[in-house]
Amino acid sequence: MLQSLAIAFGFLTRLPVKNASVNDADLGRSLAWFPIVGVALGLALVGAERFLRGYLSVDLMAVALVVLLAVLTGGLHLDGLADVFDALGGGRGDRERMLTIMKDSRIGAHGAAALCLLLIAKVVIVMEVLRHESFWPLLAFPVLARWAVIPLVIFFPYTRVEGLGKPFNGHGRQLHFAVATCLTAALVAWTGPQVIVPGASALAVALGIGFWLKRRLGGLTGDVYGTAIELSEIIFLVVAGLGDRG
């Protein structure tokens, strides 16, 4: 259990977690602990907000929190989002061309534009959360987004013969999703029923991305997983923010 938990942290963050003798089955089992990584990221954001309050304006705090999240995750999911949008913009509907573009380490105009728009949107919605002093979304959104991506890994085919996400896809099981769901429910239960609609929205967006890109690519990739996490985070924060206003 500790090994698979360490793998989850090592894969989803840039925290200095050492993983020795990792096999593909361990990677699959680590899916169950993705929500634990999410709550650790959420706690880091809430802790940073508490520390910075009184030193920075709400606007600058929002920027700082978005930067902190990108640093802690190593920009892994942001890189995936840029690759996917470069492929969608430059692939011209051709599956092989899209997969080739996604494998290219360089960022193109479509990816750069998507990345900038997403970061702006994330800063704006985090700013709104801070202004309304409703801090439960800060802790919950990394948890729900990482839970929402697990069905994509387990239940959708992987389109490449090999790749960073292939072992997760090949060894992820329904049991791992069930464990992750129970953990997620336990981790966010303190927020009450207000978390249900944002959480369901995050899952719906992740599944929508999965079905759409499966049709375009014939399956999913690690870049698609990263895109699903990023967009699920945004949707969760937006819906949670609307609920708090109401």
Q: For residues 228 and 209, give the distance between their C-alpha atoms in angstroms, rounded to a whole number.
A: 6
3-class secondary structure, 220 = strand
* Alpha carbon 147 to its chain's center: 8
Residue 167, amino acid = P
Q: For residues 18 and 14, give the distance between their C-alpha atoms in angstroms, rounded to a whole number.
A: 11
Q: Rounded to two decimals, what is the model's pTM?
A: 0.94
pLDDT tens digits for 118-130?
A: 999 999 999 999 9
Per-residue pLDDT of the chain (246 residues; tens, 9 = 90+): 778 888 899 889 988 777 666 777 888 899 999 999 999 999 999 999 999 988 999 999 999 999 999 999 999 999 999 999 999 998 888 899 999 999 888 899 999 999 999 999 999 999 999 998 888 999 999 999 999 999 999 999 999 877 778 888 888 899 999 999 999 999 999 999 999 999 999 999 999 999 999 999 999 999 999 999 999 999 999 999 876 665
Q: For residues 208 and 225, give the distance between their C-alpha atoms in angstroms, rounded to a whole number.
A: 12
In this structure, the dihedral spanned by the alpha carbons of residues 107, 152, 230 and 110, taken in order and rounded to 10 degrees, is: 30
Distances (CA, A) of 40 to 15, 99, 105: 11, 33, 29
